[in-house]
Structure 1
Protein backbone atom coordinates (compact mmCIF):
# COMPACT_ATOMS: atom_id res chain seq x y z
CA UNK A 1 0.00 0.00 0.00
CA UNK A 2 1.35 3.40 -0.96
CA UNK A 3 1.40 5.60 2.15
CA UNK A 4 2.09 8.83 0.28
CA UNK A 5 -1.18 8.67 -1.66
CA UNK A 6 -3.21 7.46 1.30
CA UNK A 7 -3.64 10.24 3.87
CA UNK A 8 -5.94 8.76 6.49
CA UNK A 9 -4.83 9.16 10.09
CA UNK A 10 -4.38 5.38 10.40
CA UNK A 11 -1.98 5.24 7.47
CA UNK A 12 -0.15 8.28 8.81
CA UNK A 13 0.15 6.80 12.31
CA UNK A 14 1.33 3.52 10.81
CA UNK A 15 3.95 5.29 8.70
CA UNK A 16 4.99 7.46 11.63
CA UNK A 17 5.24 4.39 13.83
CA UNK A 18 7.43 2.60 11.26
CA UNK A 19 9.72 5.62 10.98
CA UNK A 20 9.66 5.88 14.76
CA UNK A 21 10.68 2.23 15.22
CA UNK A 22 13.36 2.67 12.57
CA UNK A 23 15.27 5.44 14.30
CA UNK A 24 14.74 4.36 17.90
CA UNK A 25 17.68 1.97 18.04
CA UNK A 26 20.10 4.11 16.04
CA UNK A 27 21.49 7.59 16.50
CA UNK A 28 19.26 9.69 18.69
CA UNK A 29 20.84 12.98 17.62
CA UNK A 30 18.29 13.63 14.87
CA UNK A 31 15.23 13.59 17.10
CA UNK A 32 12.23 15.08 15.41
CA UNK A 33 10.00 17.58 17.15
CA UNK A 34 7.17 15.19 16.32
CA UNK A 35 8.76 12.37 18.30
CA UNK A 36 9.44 14.72 21.23
CA UNK A 37 5.88 16.06 21.07
CA UNK A 38 4.46 12.52 20.96
CA UNK A 39 6.48 11.50 24.02
CA UNK A 40 5.38 14.66 25.81
CA UNK A 41 1.75 14.05 24.88
CA UNK A 42 1.87 10.47 26.25
CA UNK A 43 3.22 11.81 29.51
CA UNK A 44 0.84 14.78 29.56
CA UNK A 45 -2.16 12.51 29.03
CA UNK A 46 -1.22 10.48 32.10
CA UNK A 47 -0.58 13.66 34.09
CA UNK A 48 -3.89 15.21 33.02
CA UNK A 49 -5.89 12.11 33.95
CA UNK A 50 -4.19 11.91 37.35
CA UNK A 51 -4.46 15.59 38.08
CA UNK A 52 -8.12 15.93 37.09
CA UNK A 53 -8.96 12.76 39.04
CA UNK A 54 -7.15 14.19 42.08
CA UNK A 55 -9.08 17.45 41.82
CA UNK A 56 -12.39 15.60 41.42
CA UNK A 57 -11.68 13.35 44.45
CA UNK A 58 -10.39 16.28 46.56
CA UNK A 59 -13.44 18.36 45.68
CA UNK A 60 -15.83 15.46 46.35
CA UNK A 61 -14.24 14.91 49.77
CA UNK A 62 -14.44 18.69 50.47
CA UNK A 63 -10.67 18.87 50.99
CA UNK A 64 -8.80 22.16 51.00
CA UNK A 65 -6.62 23.40 48.11
CA UNK A 66 -3.36 22.08 49.53
CA UNK A 67 -4.54 18.50 50.17
CA UNK A 68 -6.33 18.42 46.81
CA UNK A 69 -3.23 19.69 44.99
CA UNK A 70 -0.98 17.13 46.72
CA UNK A 71 -3.38 14.33 45.75
CA UNK A 72 -3.64 15.66 42.17
CA UNK A 73 0.16 15.83 41.79
CA UNK A 74 0.61 12.36 43.32
CA UNK A 75 -1.96 10.90 40.93
CA UNK A 76 -0.39 12.77 38.00
CA UNK A 77 2.89 10.96 38.75
CA UNK A 78 1.12 7.61 39.18
CA UNK A 79 -0.74 7.88 35.87
CA UNK A 80 2.21 9.44 34.04
CA UNK A 81 4.44 6.54 35.09
CA UNK A 82 1.71 3.96 34.41
CA UNK A 83 1.31 5.00 30.78
CA UNK A 84 5.04 4.54 30.19
CA UNK A 85 5.22 1.43 32.33
CA UNK A 86 2.49 -0.37 30.37
CA UNK A 87 3.98 0.66 27.02
CA UNK A 88 7.37 -0.73 28.05
CA UNK A 89 5.84 -3.86 29.61
CA UNK A 90 3.99 -4.54 26.34
CA UNK A 91 7.37 -4.41 24.62
CA UNK A 92 8.39 -7.37 26.77
CA UNK A 93 10.47 -5.84 29.54
CA UNK A 94 10.40 -7.32 33.06
CA UNK A 95 8.75 -5.31 35.86
CA UNK A 96 12.05 -4.27 37.44
CA UNK A 97 13.54 -2.94 34.18
CA UNK A 98 10.22 -1.42 33.13
CA UNK A 99 9.96 0.53 36.40
CA UNK A 100 13.55 1.80 36.02
CA UNK A 101 12.81 2.93 32.45
CA UNK A 102 9.55 4.64 33.46
CA UNK A 103 11.23 6.47 36.34
CA UNK A 104 14.14 7.57 34.15
CA UNK A 105 11.91 8.69 31.31
CA UNK A 106 9.13 10.46 33.10
CA UNK A 107 10.46 12.02 36.28
CA UNK A 108 11.76 15.17 34.60
CA UNK A 109 8.78 15.38 32.24
CA UNK A 110 6.17 15.03 34.97
CA UNK A 111 8.02 17.31 37.38
CA UNK A 112 8.32 20.11 34.79
CA UNK A 113 4.72 19.61 33.73
CA UNK A 114 3.32 19.65 37.25
CA UNK A 115 5.44 22.62 38.25
CA UNK A 116 4.26 24.67 35.28
CA UNK A 117 0.65 23.56 35.39
CA UNK A 118 0.19 24.04 39.13
CA UNK A 119 2.18 27.28 38.98
CA UNK A 120 -0.24 28.66 36.42
CA UNK A 121 -3.27 27.56 38.44
CA UNK A 122 -1.72 29.14 41.56
CA UNK A 123 -0.93 32.39 39.71
CA UNK A 124 -4.30 32.68 37.94
CA UNK A 125 -6.41 34.93 40.16
CA UNK A 126 -9.31 32.95 41.59
CA UNK A 127 -8.35 29.64 39.91
CA UNK A 128 -7.38 27.99 43.22
CA UNK A 129 -10.84 28.75 44.59
CA UNK A 130 -12.68 27.97 41.37
CA UNK A 131 -14.78 24.82 41.41
CA UNK A 132 -14.85 21.98 38.89
CA UNK A 133 -18.04 23.48 37.48
CA UNK A 134 -16.35 26.86 36.85
CA UNK A 135 -15.00 27.71 33.42
CA UNK A 136 -12.11 29.54 35.12
CA UNK A 137 -10.90 26.30 36.72
CA UNK A 138 -10.81 24.45 33.38
CA UNK A 139 -9.33 27.43 31.53
CA UNK A 140 -6.50 27.69 34.05
CA UNK A 141 -5.94 23.92 34.04
CA UNK A 142 -5.95 23.52 30.25
CA UNK A 143 -3.91 26.69 29.80
CA UNK A 144 -1.45 25.29 32.29
CA UNK A 145 -1.24 22.02 30.37
CA UNK A 146 -0.75 23.89 27.09
CA UNK A 147 2.14 25.91 28.54
CA UNK A 148 3.56 22.80 30.22
CA UNK A 149 3.43 21.00 26.87
CA UNK A 150 5.30 23.85 25.14
CA UNK A 151 7.95 23.90 27.86
CA UNK A 152 8.29 20.13 28.30
CA UNK A 153 8.54 19.22 24.59
CA UNK A 154 11.99 20.88 24.13
CA UNK A 155 13.12 19.31 27.42
CA UNK A 156 12.06 15.89 26.11
CA UNK A 157 13.64 16.58 22.69
CA UNK A 158 16.92 17.43 24.42
CA UNK A 159 16.72 14.37 26.70
CA UNK A 160 15.82 12.02 23.83
CA UNK A 161 18.66 13.56 21.80
CA UNK A 162 21.05 12.70 24.60
CA UNK A 163 19.68 9.16 24.79
CA UNK A 164 17.97 9.81 28.10
CA UNK A 165 14.38 10.13 29.20
CA UNK A 166 11.83 9.03 26.67
CA UNK A 167 14.58 7.74 24.35
CA UNK A 168 14.91 4.86 26.77
CA UNK A 169 11.21 4.12 26.32
CA UNK A 170 11.28 4.55 22.54
CA UNK A 171 14.01 1.95 22.26
CA UNK A 172 11.46 -0.57 23.55
CA UNK A 173 8.45 0.48 21.46
Structure 2
Protein backbone atom coordinates (compact mmCIF):
# COMPACT_ATOMS: atom_id res chain seq x y z
CA UNK A 1 0.00 0.00 0.00
CA UNK A 2 2.82 2.40 0.86
CA UNK A 3 4.61 1.71 -2.43
CA UNK A 4 1.38 2.14 -4.37
CA UNK A 5 0.78 5.46 -2.64
CA UNK A 6 4.28 6.68 -3.45
CA UNK A 7 3.92 5.67 -7.10
CA UNK A 8 0.58 7.46 -7.32
CA UNK A 9 2.08 10.63 -5.87
CA UNK A 10 5.03 10.41 -8.26
CA UNK A 11 2.72 9.93 -11.24
CA UNK A 12 0.68 12.93 -10.16
CA UNK A 13 3.81 15.05 -9.76
CA UNK A 14 5.03 14.09 -13.24
CA UNK A 15 1.66 14.57 -14.92
CA UNK A 16 2.78 17.90 -16.50
CA UNK A 17 5.59 16.02 -18.28
CA UNK A 18 3.04 13.61 -19.74
CA UNK A 19 0.80 16.44 -20.91
CA UNK A 20 3.74 18.16 -22.64
CA UNK A 21 5.33 15.09 -24.24
CA UNK A 22 2.27 13.22 -25.50
CA UNK A 23 1.35 15.72 -28.24
CA UNK A 24 4.99 15.95 -29.34
CA UNK A 25 5.62 12.19 -29.46
CA UNK A 26 2.37 11.52 -31.31
CA UNK A 27 2.85 14.25 -33.93
CA UNK A 28 3.49 12.64 -37.37
CA UNK A 29 5.62 15.55 -38.57
CA UNK A 30 7.84 15.59 -35.46
CA UNK A 31 8.31 11.83 -35.48
CA UNK A 32 8.96 11.83 -39.25
CA UNK A 33 11.71 14.40 -38.83
CA UNK A 34 13.11 12.40 -35.92
CA UNK A 35 13.17 9.20 -38.01
CA UNK A 36 15.05 10.94 -40.82
CA UNK A 37 17.49 12.44 -38.32
CA UNK A 38 18.15 9.00 -36.83
CA UNK A 39 18.77 7.51 -40.29
CA UNK A 40 21.18 10.34 -41.13
CA UNK A 41 22.99 9.88 -37.81
CA UNK A 42 23.38 6.14 -38.38
CA UNK A 43 24.71 6.85 -41.88
CA UNK A 44 27.30 9.29 -40.53
CA UNK A 45 28.34 6.78 -37.86
CA UNK A 46 28.82 3.95 -40.35
CA UNK A 47 30.71 6.21 -42.75
CA UNK A 48 33.04 7.35 -39.97
CA UNK A 49 33.64 3.79 -38.79
CA UNK A 50 34.36 2.56 -42.32
CA UNK A 51 36.59 5.45 -43.34
CA UNK A 52 38.32 6.45 -40.10
CA UNK A 53 37.72 3.95 -37.30
CA UNK A 54 37.99 0.46 -38.75
CA UNK A 55 40.24 -0.57 -35.88
CA UNK A 56 37.36 -0.42 -33.40
CA UNK A 57 36.44 -3.92 -32.17
CA UNK A 58 33.34 -5.46 -33.76
CA UNK A 59 31.58 -5.38 -30.38
CA UNK A 60 31.98 -1.62 -30.05
CA UNK A 61 30.92 -1.05 -33.66
CA UNK A 62 27.72 -2.88 -32.80
CA UNK A 63 27.35 -1.00 -29.52
CA UNK A 64 27.65 2.40 -31.18
CA UNK A 65 25.29 1.39 -33.97
CA UNK A 66 22.59 0.55 -31.42
CA UNK A 67 23.27 3.68 -29.37
CA UNK A 68 22.83 5.91 -32.43
CA UNK A 69 19.81 3.92 -33.60
CA UNK A 70 18.16 4.44 -30.19
CA UNK A 71 19.10 8.09 -29.68
CA UNK A 72 19.95 9.57 -33.09
CA UNK A 73 22.08 12.73 -32.95
CA UNK A 74 22.42 12.47 -29.17
CA UNK A 75 23.95 9.00 -29.53
CA UNK A 76 26.17 10.21 -32.38
CA UNK A 77 27.44 13.07 -30.21
CA UNK A 78 28.31 10.58 -27.44
CA UNK A 79 30.22 8.45 -29.95
CA UNK A 80 32.05 11.49 -31.34
CA UNK A 81 33.06 12.62 -27.86
CA UNK A 82 34.10 9.29 -26.38
CA UNK A 83 34.15 6.43 -28.88
CA UNK A 84 36.40 7.45 -31.79
CA UNK A 85 40.10 6.66 -32.08
CA UNK A 86 40.68 10.37 -32.74
CA UNK A 87 39.83 11.56 -29.21
CA UNK A 88 42.60 13.83 -27.97
CA UNK A 89 42.77 12.34 -24.48
CA UNK A 90 40.77 9.95 -22.37
CA UNK A 91 39.01 10.98 -19.16
CA UNK A 92 36.63 9.74 -16.51
CA UNK A 93 33.77 11.43 -18.37
CA UNK A 94 34.59 9.68 -21.66
CA UNK A 95 35.02 6.34 -19.92
CA UNK A 96 31.67 6.91 -18.22
CA UNK A 97 30.03 7.53 -21.59
CA UNK A 98 31.54 4.38 -23.12
CA UNK A 99 30.47 2.32 -20.14
CA UNK A 100 26.95 3.70 -20.32
CA UNK A 101 26.81 3.12 -24.08
CA UNK A 102 27.85 -0.51 -23.59
CA UNK A 103 25.12 -1.04 -21.00
CA UNK A 104 22.60 0.97 -23.03
CA UNK A 105 22.99 -1.09 -26.18
CA UNK A 106 22.03 -4.34 -24.45
CA UNK A 107 19.41 -2.99 -22.07
CA UNK A 108 17.81 -0.97 -24.84
CA UNK A 109 17.40 -4.10 -26.95
CA UNK A 110 15.72 -5.83 -24.00
CA UNK A 111 13.40 -2.87 -23.41
CA UNK A 112 12.38 -2.61 -27.06
CA UNK A 113 11.74 -6.35 -27.27
CA UNK A 114 9.77 -6.31 -24.03
CA UNK A 115 7.44 -3.46 -24.93
CA UNK A 116 6.98 -4.55 -28.56
CA UNK A 117 6.40 -8.23 -27.77
CA UNK A 118 4.53 -8.00 -24.46
CA UNK A 119 2.91 -4.58 -24.56
CA UNK A 120 2.37 -4.48 -28.32
CA UNK A 121 2.01 -7.81 -30.09
CA UNK A 122 0.54 -9.64 -27.08
CA UNK A 123 -1.55 -6.56 -26.21
CA UNK A 124 -0.83 -6.76 -22.47
CA UNK A 125 -0.67 -2.95 -22.23
CA UNK A 126 0.95 -1.47 -19.15
CA UNK A 127 0.23 -4.53 -17.03
CA UNK A 128 2.51 -5.94 -14.37
CA UNK A 129 3.44 -8.75 -16.77
CA UNK A 130 4.67 -6.25 -19.38
CA UNK A 131 6.63 -4.25 -16.83
CA UNK A 132 8.23 -7.27 -15.15
CA UNK A 133 8.92 -8.97 -18.47
CA UNK A 134 10.57 -5.87 -19.92
CA UNK A 135 12.74 -5.49 -16.82
CA UNK A 136 13.76 -9.15 -17.08
CA UNK A 137 14.68 -8.86 -20.75
CA UNK A 138 16.69 -5.70 -20.11
CA UNK A 139 18.68 -7.45 -17.38
CA UNK A 140 19.13 -10.53 -19.59
CA UNK A 141 20.47 -8.57 -22.56
CA UNK A 142 22.54 -6.27 -20.34
CA UNK A 143 24.23 -9.14 -18.54
CA UNK A 144 24.74 -11.08 -21.78
CA UNK A 145 26.72 -8.22 -23.29
CA UNK A 146 29.17 -8.49 -20.38
CA UNK A 147 29.19 -12.26 -19.87
CA UNK A 148 29.60 -13.12 -23.57
CA UNK A 149 32.92 -11.33 -24.15
CA UNK A 150 34.30 -12.64 -20.84
CA UNK A 151 33.49 -16.22 -21.86
CA UNK A 152 35.28 -15.63 -25.17
CA UNK A 153 38.34 -14.53 -23.19
CA UNK A 154 38.32 -17.84 -21.33
CA UNK A 155 36.71 -16.68 -18.07
CA UNK A 156 34.51 -19.31 -16.40
CA UNK A 157 30.75 -18.85 -16.54
CA UNK A 158 30.36 -18.47 -12.78
CA UNK A 159 33.08 -15.83 -12.55
CA UNK A 160 31.71 -14.00 -15.58
CA UNK A 161 28.19 -13.93 -14.11
CA UNK A 162 29.49 -12.67 -10.77
CA UNK A 163 31.40 -9.91 -12.54
CA UNK A 164 28.28 -8.92 -14.50
CA UNK A 165 26.09 -8.93 -11.39
CA UNK A 166 28.17 -6.55 -9.32
CA UNK A 167 29.37 -4.32 -12.14
CA UNK A 168 26.21 -3.99 -14.25
CA UNK A 169 23.28 -4.31 -11.82
CA UNK A 170 23.36 -0.71 -10.48
CA UNK A 171 23.52 0.77 -13.97
CA UNK A 172 20.86 -1.50 -15.46
CA UNK A 173 18.51 -0.91 -12.53
CA UNK A 174 18.71 2.89 -12.69
CA UNK A 175 18.54 2.90 -16.49
CA UNK A 176 15.45 0.70 -16.66
CA UNK A 177 13.59 2.31 -13.77
CA UNK A 178 13.99 5.64 -15.57
CA UNK A 179 13.31 4.31 -19.07
CA UNK A 180 10.42 1.95 -18.35
CA UNK A 181 8.91 4.42 -15.89
CA UNK A 182 9.03 7.16 -18.54
CA UNK A 183 7.45 4.93 -21.17
CA UNK A 184 4.61 3.89 -18.86
CA UNK A 185 4.08 7.48 -17.72
CA UNK A 186 3.84 8.90 -21.23
CA UNK A 187 2.26 6.04 -23.18
CA UNK A 188 1.06 3.45 -20.72
CA UNK A 189 -2.21 2.86 -22.58
CA UNK A 190 -0.91 3.31 -26.13
CA UNK A 191 -1.36 0.50 -28.69
CA UNK A 192 1.41 -0.74 -30.96
CA UNK A 193 -0.39 0.84 -33.91
CA UNK A 194 -0.27 4.28 -32.23
CA UNK A 195 2.55 6.64 -33.13
CA UNK A 196 2.75 7.54 -29.44
CA UNK A 197 3.77 3.95 -28.64
CA UNK A 198 6.90 4.27 -30.77
CA UNK A 199 7.61 7.90 -29.93
CA UNK A 200 7.47 7.27 -26.19
CA UNK A 201 9.66 4.17 -26.56
CA UNK A 202 12.36 6.15 -28.36
CA UNK A 203 12.15 9.01 -25.86
CA UNK A 204 12.27 6.69 -22.84
CA UNK A 205 15.47 5.02 -24.08
CA UNK A 206 17.37 8.32 -24.09
CA UNK A 207 15.96 9.22 -20.66
CA UNK A 208 17.37 5.95 -19.36
CA UNK A 209 20.81 6.79 -20.78
CA UNK A 210 20.84 10.21 -19.09
CA UNK A 211 19.95 8.78 -15.69
CA UNK A 212 22.42 5.89 -15.96
CA UNK A 213 25.40 8.02 -16.97
CA UNK A 214 26.29 9.39 -13.48
CA UNK A 215 25.95 5.86 -12.07
CA UNK A 216 28.40 4.48 -14.61
CA UNK A 217 30.82 7.37 -14.18
CA UNK A 218 30.78 6.73 -10.42
CA UNK A 219 31.38 3.00 -10.90
CA UNK A 220 34.29 3.76 -13.22
CA UNK A 221 35.72 6.26 -10.73
CA UNK A 222 35.75 3.67 -7.94
CA UNK A 223 37.12 0.94 -10.20
CA UNK A 224 34.01 -1.24 -10.20
CA UNK A 225 33.87 -0.87 -13.99
CA UNK A 226 36.74 -0.25 -16.39
CA UNK A 227 34.78 2.00 -18.73
CA UNK A 228 35.84 0.12 -21.90
CA UNK A 229 39.26 0.45 -23.54
CA UNK A 230 40.49 3.84 -24.72
CA UNK A 231 39.73 3.83 -28.47
CA UNK A 232 42.69 6.15 -29.12
CA UNK A 233 44.97 3.19 -28.34
CA UNK A 234 43.44 1.29 -31.26
CA UNK A 235 44.12 3.92 -33.93
Q: Quickly name the TM-score band, shorter chain normalised.
A: 0.7 to 0.9
Match of 2:197 among 133, 137, 160: 137
Aligned length: 149
Shift of 1:32: 2.8
Higher helix share: 2
Match of 2:15 in 1: none
Match of 2:7 in 1: none
Match of 2:207 in 1: 147
Please give the alpha-carbon distance, in whole angstroms, between the structure 2 residues aligned to 1:85 and 1:120.
28
Please give the alpha-carbon distance, in whole angstroms, between the structure 2 residues aligned to 1:70 and 1:159.
26
Match of 1:9 among 47, 53, 69: 53
Q: Summarize deviations over 1:102-149 as a string: whole Å, max 9, x none.
A: 11111011100111012211222xx01112332212222221221221
Unaligned regions of 5+ residues in structure 2, if any?
1-50, 58-82, 230-235
Change in CA separation of 1:140 and 1:17 when aligned onto 2, cut-off 3 Å: closer
Shift of 1:96: 0.9
Match of 2:124 in 1: 63
Change in CA separation of 1:33 and 1:123 when aligned onto 2, cut-off 3 Å: same
RMSD: 2.5
**Which ranges of 4 or more aligned residues in structure 1 deviate by more than 4 Å?**
none
Q: Summarize deviations over 1:32-73 as a string: whole Å, max 9, x none.
A: 322211111111111111111112221322324221121111
Please give the alpha-carbon distance, in whole angstroms, between the structure 2 residues aligned to 1:139 and 1:64.
16
**Comparing 96-105 with 48-57, which one deviates more in the overlay?**
48-57
Could you state the TM-score of these two structures normalised by the residue count of structure 2? Answer: 0.57
Shift of 1:150: 1.6
Q: How does 1:20-169 map to 2 (within 5 A)?
A: 31-58=91-118, 59-66=120-127, 67-124=129-186, 127-164=187-224, 166-167=225-226
Please give the alpha-carbon distance, in whole angstroms, between the structure 1 residues aligned to 2:107 and 2:101.
9
Change in CA separation of 1:115 and 1:105 when aligned onto 2, cut-off 3 Å: same
Could you state the TM-score of these two structures normalised by the residue count of structure 1? Answer: 0.75
8 Å contact from structure 1 (residues 31, 160) kept in 2: no
